[in-house]
Structure 1
Amino acid sequence: MEPNRPKRSAVAASRRAAALVALLVPFALGGATTSCASSPSYRIELPARPETREAGTILFVLTAAAEQSLRGGGKRATGYFLNEFYEPYRALEDAGYHVAVATPGGRPAVVDPESLDEKYWSSPAELERARHERVSLRELAVPLSLAEARARQEEFQGLVVPGGQGVMVDLLDDPDLQALLIAFDANDRPVGLVCHAPALLTRFPEGQRPFAGSRVTSVSA
């Protein structure tokens, strides 16, 4: 059983819930798909950032795995799902936030080629915009290492881990990512885990699980 944790104040809980809703609404209702196998049917946009509010920085953690071993032998190409990165990235950028990217070892993030299929996008034009921005976004080509992101964690106001089966290859048991999840939970900073990424919450030892006592949603097995 999990040890008793101190109760957060109602104000802190309310702020946390509001932040999570702001971060996760685009995922849950179609700004980005919550499943790696369905196309978006709704689009929700975050409200514009007030001019007087200083922009924060949101950390995106992406897989750098390019292939996945299959049960029974063989391998398949993998990586992160582009729509699950691009939609929250674009919504947050449009709302005035800065974006940082981190991967294991600071290796370039790898796109799952399956996510380039038009069935995952609301239109071919949107897919082309996403492909163009991916190529031009320096943070994707030269990301932070997860160790660097962990050392600089106080700089980030939120954490997003897009899905794709690559998450299961090089992020599932990464100690730096686990430390980031624990720290963000302890400091009431919002976390968005998309598609495969909620599996990260299953890998903590007894008594060290972040978000214990919280309700989470996930794709069913």
Structure 2
Amino acid sequence: MAKSSAPYQPLLLRVLHGLTGLCLIGAILSAYWTYDTYDGRWGGIPLPKFPEIESIHGTFGMWTLLIFPAFVVYACRPGQRRLVQPDTLQKLAQVGKPAWWYTLNRITNTLALLALTFALFSGKMMGSDWLPEGELYHAWYYAHLISWIIMVLAIALHLLMSAKVGGSPLLLSMLTWRFREKDSPAHWPQQIKTWWAATQQGAWATWFRPMTALIALEVAILVSIVAAWIIPLFKHA
């Protein structure tokens, strides 16, 4: 059991957050190496030319794309209190107060989700042969470069705001493997069975009701992810 004074994060959140974060870090680092290998027009840290890095970057991006939908659903459902709230604008008026900082933290969390959506979608719109063939003029390539910069800034803000509102205990709470009995993975199979049974009985019909701003955000991100898989099929048909 974790100490009662320490922040506690649900185990499923830590698993999904950790897997998404690890794949994303790999994608970000390999993205820079890919840029340095095939482009480098705007300078940077010179790295060894490594043509295979593009494939490695694509692999990290693919794993992120596969894990991200589950993380989005969790973030917009059980984890919704960590995202923007209906009273966000009112709380932003309380400059300097604790509520203001917590609201900024929720905004940066939400922006990180949107930034990752943009990065994944723009990456899927790229052709795998563009960089090896020296085709650096495509709009989606520039969009993906911009998404990389936005993603790095979003993660930096996410970490800074988390440190501001919770300090090192909050950051470390995402790394511990301790969990409460109610979060035990032993309960997950039964919870999945219960969820599936409810879905078969029509619970899915109320999945998006009422249509709140967070549900709209969830739908928009999930639709973008589905589109990222489907659109390239028509491009290469």
Classify the TM-score, shorter chain: under 0.3
Q: Which has the higher helix share?
A: 2
Q: From the two aligned structures, give the one with the greater strand fraction.
A: 1
- TM-score normalized by structure 2? 0.24
TM superposition score normalised by structure 1: 0.25
